[in-house]
Amino acid sequence: MSTKTPITVAHGDGIGPEIMNATLQILEAAGAALEIETIEIGEKVYLRGNSAGIDPSSWDSLLRTKVFLKAPITTPQGGGFKSLNVTTRKTLGQYANVRPCVSYHPFIDTKHPNMDVVIVRENEEDLYAGIEYQMTPEVMSCIKLISRPGSEKIVRYAFEYARLHNRRKVTCFMKDNIMKMTDGLFHKVFDEIGAQYPDIEKEVWIVDIGAAKMADTPTAFDVIVMPNLYGDILSDVAAQIAGSVGLAGSANIGESCAMFEAIHGSAPRRAGQNLANPSGLLLGAVLMLVHINQPEVAAKVHNAWLRTIEDGVHTYDVYTEGVSTVKVGTKEFAAAVIERLGQKPNILKAVTYAHRPAAAPVAARAERPAVAMELKGIDVFVYWPSRNPNTLAEAVGKLAGEGLSLQMIDNRGVKVWPAGRAETFCTDSFRCRYVAQGLTDMAKLLDVARRISDAGIDIAVTETLRNFDGQAGFTLAQGQ
Ligand code: NAD
């Protein structure tokens, strides 16, 4: 008998305890070798005055077991409560969110009978770094951060996932026709890492048309990897069109810790009535069993679940007259799955899972040669309430100082000076770009900002312009 794997379990709120009990019963009956530590998270913890929804002592368990099976929780209404999911994900460095979106036609209603797509979403970066500012009375900004190591980790994860699960293709969604530097880096890293996986087909789509294609013809895709925001949106679209929002599980994977859950919430109105469908959490638990290298148990549970769905044993949320054979509650559904352990589906495709390679893929942080960085100028974002770029140019042009000149002014990325167009709408926030004529130093660049401030003009942000190995580390304004 194999040794048991310690895992941390949280029963959550609302329907959480019922679906967790059902899930754990099935896992036990299937012979999963688990040593369970239970922690309390969610509403009760929030209402005890802990704004993170998790007690410090619970972290000890998570850091010890490194595997977290989590039921949904209720986030209390009102301000001051931090999202437990975001906290857990970021604290434990869970950089990959994995969500298989599968249709179960003809047993679960869907427009896409053969859909089987896995969304791999980057989980830590992009616009979700949460770095936002009010720049001027009229303008807010949110910084989109994409890093090379962050992109390398997620892209490599997607290819390793594809290999382990016998997937034929990995597609990258991004938008580097517009975000040439951030999404451009993601694309470049996809090409570089993809080249190391000759056995797997590669494909790149601009996210807008890619999303349209996925919603229309999901069978054109297999594994799709994408930055955080696109992944957040499109993983919900994918689950919805598969017809499986209530049935989908997801995994949040980090270098050392991983969390597994259903994608739905705590459905408080259904709580305590033996109504809830435990399938989402159960399929989350299947992902966990694969992760902790119990692939045979994972397949046994998954196939018994598929057989149960196929036999028409359905909870109220997926029950359809004429398709379903019996409407059951949470406990009866769990009993039906347990009864079918060892069986396989006849019509739906049975699953098999492979053992993970002995050494889990280590996130690549390739040694890169030192990069030559050269100062080229400074962008100063200022508040100019008259919204007139010509008067602004007059005021700040003369503040450039020796060796620098005001090259252009833009408003929300569109050049408005010199030779702007009267038709261009301007807000109260302008960017003034000063470029160096030759070599320059940081002190000279900061002096420009100081002179602007001394002239009584409010500065929101400054950005340093640099070349990296001779390549511009900044984009041109539209129309520049
Ligand atoms: P929800 O997913 O809880 O419910 C949406 C709808 O789906 C409801 O009609 C509900 O009855 C139904 N439903 C959901 N899961 C079901 C299941 N397993 N079986 C049968 N029916 C099910 O979303 P919501 O109502 O927007 O949110 C309720 C609470 O859940 C909120 O406090 C929210 O913050 C929280 N939430 C938590 C998580 C999480 O912990 N991961 C995720 C989403 C929402």
pLDDT for position 2: 54
In sequence order, the β-bridge partners of residue 444 are: none
Tell me the torsion sign for CA atoms 475, 476, 477, 478: negative
The tokens describing 24, both together, are 């754990």
Count each helix (H run) and each strand (E run) in the chain, helices first: 13, 20
pLDDT tens profile 227-244: 999 999 999 999 999 987
Q: What is the pLDDT of residues 87-124, one digit of tens each?
A: 888 889 999 999 999 999 999 999 999 999 999 999 99
Q: How far is Cα 470 from Cα 207, in angstroms, rounded to an integer?
A: 30
**Short-list 305, 299, 286, CA closest to 354:** 299
Is the beta carbon of 265 within 6 A of some atom in ligand 1? yes
The pLDDT of residue 86 is above 90? no
pLDDT of the residue at 358: 65
320-332 average pLDDT score: 96
Concatenate the DSSP letters of all residues of 112-132 into one string. -TT-EEEEEEE-SSBGGG--E
**Torsion angle (degrees, nearest 10) of CA 9, 13, 17, 22:** -90
Residue 135 has pLDDT above 80, yes or no: yes
pTM of the entire predicted model = 0.92
- What is the β-pairing status of strands 258-262 and 249-253? antiparallel
Q: What are 114's two structure tokens?
A: 């053969």
456 with 384: CB under 8 angstroms?
Answer: no
Cβ of 58 below 6 Å from ligand 1 = no
> What is the percent of the chain with per-residue pLDDT over 90, rounded to a whole number?
85
Identity at 433, one-letter amino acid code = R
**Nearest in space to 126 (alpha carbons), one of 69, 179, 68, 67:** 179
Report whether pLDDT(136) > 60: yes
Q: How far apart are CA 193 and CA 60, in angstroms?
A: 35
Ligand 1, atom 43, residue with closest C-alpha: 265
Q: Is the pLDDT of residue 362 over 60?
A: no
**What pLDDT score does 88 carry?**
87
15 pocket-lining for ligand 1 (C-beta < 6 Å): yes
Angle at 55 between CA 50 and CA 58, to 5 degrees: 160
pLDDT confidence of residue 246: 84
Mean pLDDT, residues 53-63 taken together: 92
Give the pLDDT confidence score for residue 78 in this predicted structure.
74
**2-11, 232-241, 451-460: which has the highest mean pLDDT?**
451-460
Q: What is the mean pLDDT of the chain?
A: 94
Determine the longest span between alpha carbons in the chain, in angstroms.
Answer: 83
Ligand 1, atom 5: nearest CA belongs to which residue?
Answer: 267
pLDDT band at 335 (very low <50, low <70, confident <90, very high): very high
Which residues have C-beta within 8 Å of that of residue 378, sequence separation ≥ 6?
A: 404, 433, 434, 445, 446, 448, 449, 462, 463, 464, 465
Give 304's pLDDT tier (boundaries 50, 70, 90): very high
Residue 464 has pLDDT above 90, yes or no: yes
Amino acid at site 101 = C
Ligand 1 centre to CA of 16 (Å) is 10
Residue 59 has pLDDT above 80, yes or no: yes
Cβ of 317 below 6 Å from ligand 1 = yes
Among the listed ranges 35-49, 169-183, 348-362, 385-399, which one has the minimum average pLDDT value? 348-362
The answer to whether the CB of 236 is under 6 A from ligand 1 is: no
- Tokens for 325? 């054979």
Separation of alpha carbons 94 and 92, rounded Å: 6
Domains and CATH numbers, the chain: 5-339 (3.40.718.10), 373-472 (3.30.70.1570)
